[in-house]
């Protein structure tokens, strides 16, 4: 009886040590990844690092070419080259590069929560699952912060593979370990005005493109936007305005980039934007990512993601779920960080969700 109790206690201690070691490894890996600059378009170095590390710990790992020297990283266990569940997130970050640092509670630096800490948590979870005989895939893509180009390439890759056994994609973004019920979509709008240059002392001889643009933007800002009782309102951000030649020249060109966060289909909104902007400007819609509702898991706290993800471009990777450590409220800021406690909790959550699925 004593021997049996000792063996059980020893097994519990060994398991606890492995859990602790994986959490510590995730902290170390997060800092190592943060310290590799990978602003969108410059992901090759972090991709090569992940490729080498995943090969070293025994995964069948491939570089998935995207463009020039950019590539996604896809890793599977030799025991299950066609996994049912795949963990995924992105390797790129927004500028500027901020190196890592840490204190007792947090890891700081660009990408610490969006999404390099998530990469570390997903690898640690995959390792723990592998020790339990459960084999998941790992997909890390480029370009999420700009145009989801890596996700598009990954989706084409998945469509070409036979047999297609991936049933679930667990995508990682900073949701504070809450599982997302839905994510708002994205509609990018470009508004351009043309005019005629003239000397600013004689404005009647010219035609101000900036005046036309400002009038259109004023109307668009006042335009009522749709709302969903469960998700919240559609929102507008005027993110970029440019135009003109000099302070003493009537401007012949002006341009603005707008971003709407969608809470439903965009067809009516597009028509409304075109009508409201008016015929003095040109309106184009270069990018749309749709509003999505997601599968959830019982027992987990939920949230609505007001941001968009790569999920709309990963339709061939199975039914999506969205969850990850870190807060979107500090992502893209100069003080970006991830809580070490949330990082450790995410490893547990990813393991539990994969086992349920």
Distance in angstroms (rounded) separating the CA atoms of residues 324 and 169: 13
Ramachandran angles phi, psi of 185, nearest 5°: -90, 180
Distance in angstroms (rounded) separating the CA atoms of residues 271 and 213: 18
Residue 294: closest CA among 279, 281, 304, 306: 304
* 92 CB-near residues (< 8 Å, 6+ apart): 38, 39, 40, 41, 43, 142, 143, 144, 145, 146, 150
Q: Report the side by side order of strands in the sheet with 319-322.
A: 60-67, 70-76, 137-141, 85-90, 168-171, 319-322
CA distances from 181 to 55, 152, 175, 291, 343 (A): 35, 23, 11, 11, 21
Question: What SS3 state is found at 261?
Answer: strand
**Cis omega (within 30 of 0) on the bond before 279?**
no
144 is catalytic: yes
Residue 327: closest CA among 356, 313, 306, 348: 306
Joined together, the tokens standing for residue 352 give: 């539990």
* 279 CB-near residues (< 8 Å, 6+ apart): none
The two beta strands, 253-262 and 185-194, are: antiparallel
Element (H, E) at 22: helix 2-34
Joined together, the tokens standing for residue 179 give: 């599982």
Distance in angstroms (rounded) separating the CA atoms of residues 346 and 349: 5
Joined together, the tokens standing for residue 63 give: 């570089």
Q: Which of 144, 176, 336, 339 is catalytic?
A: 144
Joined together, the tokens standing for residue 105 give: 């509670």
Distance in angstroms (rounded) separating the CA atoms of residues 211 and 254: 9
| Residues carrying an active site annotation | 144
């Amino acid at each position: 009886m004593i021997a049996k109790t000792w063996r059980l206690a020893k097994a519990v201690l060994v398991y606890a040590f492995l859990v602790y070691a994986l959490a510590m490894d995730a902290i170390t890996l997060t800092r190592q990844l943060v310290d590799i600059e990978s602003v969108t378009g410059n992901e090759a170095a972090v991709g090569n690092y992940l490729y080498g590390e995943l090969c070293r710990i025994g995964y069948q790992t491939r570089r998935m070419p995207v463009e020039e020297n950019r590539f996604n990283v896809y890793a599977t266990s030799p025991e299950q080259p066609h996994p049912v569940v795949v963990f995924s997130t992105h390797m790129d970050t927004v500028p500027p590069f901020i190196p890592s640092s840490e204190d007792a509670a947090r890891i700081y630096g660009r990408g610490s929560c969006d999404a390099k800490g998530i990469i570390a948590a997903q690898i640690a979870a995959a390792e723990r699952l592998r020790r339990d005989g459960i084999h998941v895939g790992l997909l890390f893509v480029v370009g999420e912060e700009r145009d989801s180009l890596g996700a598009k390439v990954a989706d084409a890759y998945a469509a070409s593979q036979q047999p297609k056994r991936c049933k679930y994609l667990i995508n990682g973004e900073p949701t504070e370990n809450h599982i997302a019920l839905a994510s708002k979509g994205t509609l990018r709008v470009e508004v351009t005005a043309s005019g005629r240059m003239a000397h600013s002392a004689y404005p009647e001889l010219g035609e101000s493109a900036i005046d036309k643009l400002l009038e259109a933007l004023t109307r668009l800002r006042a335009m009522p936007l749709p709302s969903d009782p469960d998700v919240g309102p559609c929102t507008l951000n005027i993110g970029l305005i440019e135009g003109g030649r000099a302070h003493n020249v009537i401007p012949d060109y002006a341009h603005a980039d707008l971003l709407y966060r969608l809470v439903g289909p965009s067809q009516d909104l597009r028509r409304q934007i075109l009508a409201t902007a008016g015929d003095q400007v040109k309106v184009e819609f270069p990018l749309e990512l749709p509003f999505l509702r997601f599968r959830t898991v019982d027992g987990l706290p939920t949230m609505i993601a007001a941001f968009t993800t790569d999920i709309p471009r990963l339709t061939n990777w199975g039914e999506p779920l969205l969850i990850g450590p870190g807060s979107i409220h500090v992502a893209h800021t100069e003080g970006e960080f991830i809580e070490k406690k949330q990082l450790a909790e995410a490893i547990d959550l990813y393991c539990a969700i994969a086992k349920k699925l």
